[in-house]
Amino acid sequence: MVCVDIDESKLKRLEAGEVPFFEPRLDELIKRNWPERLTFSSDLKEAIRGAKAVFIAVGTPPHEDGSADLSHVLKVATDVSQHAEHDLVLVLKSTVPVGTNARVRQVVAKHAKHKISVVSNPEFLKEGDAVNDFMKPDRVVVGTDDDEAFAVMNLLYAPFNRQQNRLQRVSPQSAEIVKYAANAMLATKISFMNEIARLCDVTGADVEDVRIALGTDTRIGMQFLYAGLGFGGSCFPKDLRALVNTGNELGVSLRVAEAATQANLIPVKSLVSNMERDLGGLDGKVVAIWGLAFKPRTDDVREAPALRLITELKQRGAKVRASDPQALETAAERLQANGTADIVTLVKNAYEACEGADCLVVATEWNEYRAPQLDRIKALMRGNWVFDGRNALVPEAVSAAGLNYRGMGRPVRLAQG
């Protein structure tokens, strides 16, 4: 296998076994397979020589209107078509809107001298567990109307299908839609539970009790029912906007997906309102934040709720001391870019973030935050409020340590003693 990229510095890091981002187990795979089974190159023409399949896995960043930028996809398709010296299968792995397969086929028809079959093969990898998801996929969706191309894909995925055949052959259009539909469904579950959490806040109900009762209904299931500060990352926000934009272009109003996107902005604002009330205002306050990545087991801070929270806190005159097990470097870059770096002090040690703070906010549910030394937190902080933005802590333990607890959709527990 040859991995192609135009960034020479990134290729050198990969050859040294260094992954440019944090993804558990990925560095182990690279070190184990390079250079016998895995190589890296910036020479596309040489890399595809003799290849039966070429995968396009470039980014599709959003335009201002939310539509997906396909320029990188079309550029690679053009280059592969021009450089191909034999028949091959061109696989669209990038997340692309419905109709992209047809556009790429037009590019191939214009430039290719050999038969190039375009196949849509969306990825369903979770950041933080991508290696496991790839090795043990729930399904492998292959969108093609070409029997020979499907045979190549079947051969490629055969090592992952020994227990059962997970390949699902569909039309290219269906394959393109399923990726967006899956992310929209999961994001909608998150937004819905966050709305239920706000209802619990004003009624005195406990969203954790509601979640468990809902999740044990086999028609619903337990996954993605956790209330919190909302979703972020490189997929859900971008993909929902792209899906809504595609629907608008085709005259189909996707109101549920649009509502899920709008609802996702509310939890952070709701938390800030509670903080203002409980702390008697935020001007001049110091807020400790645990977690900057949008989810655990990644250093990705793109559209992370923690960064939205920091923006809200700056507008209200607060200062921030923040920590994260993996995302300090990526967060520093993003904070500088969005103009909030001036109010944030980043520290490696989570307890150091609590020094002199008026409150603590748990913004990412890293495992190391779930059972903290609460007595130590109380001794370090100036104030005594803990705002659990991910419902990761045990409320009774927090109050027993002499700290006030407020979660997302959970009853407030005041300090004991």
Give me the active site residues, please: 235
How are the residues of the chain apportioned to helix, strand and coil, as percentages rounded to the nearest 5? 45, 15, 40
User: How far is 82 from 387, CA to CA, in rounded Å?
Assistant: 56
User: How far is 406 from 391, CA to CA, in rounded Å?
Assistant: 9
Alpha carbon separation from 14 to 28, 43, 54, 75, 384 (Å, rounded):
11, 16, 20, 23, 45
For the chain, give the longest Cα–Cα distance.
80
The number of helices, as runs of H, and strands, as runs of E, in the chain is 17, 13
Using only C-alpha atoms, what is the Rg of the chain?
A: 24
Phi-psi region of 25 (alpha: psi -120 to 50; beta: other; left: phi over 0): left
User: How far is 332 from 346, CA to CA, in rounded Å?
Assistant: 8
